[in-house]
């Protein structure tokens, strides 16, 4: 199982580093590979991609180019909704491993409970991959409590994580609490609300107080929640480094109360097939 470097004070959730690098929309071959390499050499040890991102090959190149052993990297990818029949899960998961240039991934997610998703057909394929040692952990993404209940009943392997949109304008308290009560980690994607946190007055005030960026404040707030990890996407070295600085920011109770007083609710990722629709 992947571990964080000794130089980092980053804590782990069942072996998963709490701050990772998201790679959504990072589809330029050179930029993607370089950003993954830079992040790993900076101290990141959690890299997140997906079949739908069309960059698994580039992510794999970045891991291979980094001066970091594969075993130290917690690598996650996701099976797209059109590939969720039993046979397609097995086949495309192996394709993803080939593109990534690895023998296993640390975490494989069901990307959405949509389209070809059939719990009775899809989830046994994840169990098979788990039993075969091709994946270290089974994850789900964009699942609501009813989907999580069902998945836990069907899977033999534990549900390791639920990856969901989560940020100060979408705190997802119900799902975070569900995870805490059921030993399911929450992984926050779009943790900066696609940049909208930079314009929230409450977050600006906390950032100014700590001489920190709004991104660091938002990430620190997430990382101080029990059982929550965050995977902000970034492609430039400056943004990758700025996000990493969230690990050194400790918010006090007053800061947390101010952030949680944000009244605006704004879901950034809301496809027609979203399970909440």
Closest CA relative to residue 267, chosen from 196, 203, 209, 206: 196
> Residues for the chain: how many in total?
277
Q: Closest Cα to residue 138, out of 114, 165, 161?
A: 161
166-192: burial string, b at 16+ Cβ within 10 Å, e else: bbbbbbbeebbebbeeeebbbbbbbbb
For residues 121 and 149, the answer to whether their CB atoms sit within 8 Å is no
Sheet containing strand 138-141, strands side by side:
21-22, 46-48, 74-79, 107-110, 138-141, 159-165, 185-189, 228-230
Catalytic residue among 44, 53, 109, 117: 53
Q: Is 53 a catalytic residue?
A: yes
The residue behind tokens 């804590």 is: 11
What is each CA distance from 25 to 45, 88, 92, 210, 241, in whole angstroms?
20, 24, 20, 31, 19
∠ CA 211-212-217, nearest 5°, is 135
CA of residue 268 relative to chain centroid, distance: 16
Q: Which residues are catalytic?
A: 53
């Amino acid at each position: 199982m992947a571990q964080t470097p000794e130089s980092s004070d980053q804590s782990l959730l069942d072996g998963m580093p709490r701050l990772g690098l998201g790679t959504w929309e990072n589809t330029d071959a050179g930029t993607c590979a370089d950003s993954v390499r830079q992040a790993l050499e900076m101290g990141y040890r959690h890299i997140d991609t997906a079949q739908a991102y069309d960059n698994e090959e580039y992510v794999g190149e970045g891991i291979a180019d980094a001066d970091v052993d594969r075993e130290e990297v917690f690598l996650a990818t996701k099976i797209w909704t059109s590939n969720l029949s039993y046979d397609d899960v097995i086949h495309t998961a192996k394709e993803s491993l080939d593109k990534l240039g690895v023998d296993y991934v640390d975490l494989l997610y069901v990307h959405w409970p949509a389209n070809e998703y059939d719990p009775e057909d899809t989830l046994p394929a994840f169990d098979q991959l788990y039993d075969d040692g091709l994946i270290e952990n089974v994850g789900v993404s964009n699942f609501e409590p009813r989907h999580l209940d069902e998945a836990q009943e069907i899977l033999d392997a534990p549900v390791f994580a639920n990856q969901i949109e989560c940020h100060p304008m979408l705190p997802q308290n119900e799902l975070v609490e569900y995870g805490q009560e059921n030993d399911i980690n929450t992984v926050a994607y779009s943790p900066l609300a696609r940049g909208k946190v930079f314009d929230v007055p409450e977050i600006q005030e906390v950032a100014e107080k700590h001489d920190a960026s709004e991104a660091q404040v938002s990430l620190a707030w997430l990382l101080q929640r029990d059982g929550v990890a965050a995977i902000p996407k970034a492609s430039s070295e400056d943004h990758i480094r700025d996000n990493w600085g969230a690990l050194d920011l400790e918010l006090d109770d007053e800061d947390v109360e101010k952030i949680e007083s944000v009244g605006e609710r704004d879901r950034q990722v809301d496809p027609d097939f979203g399970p909440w629709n």
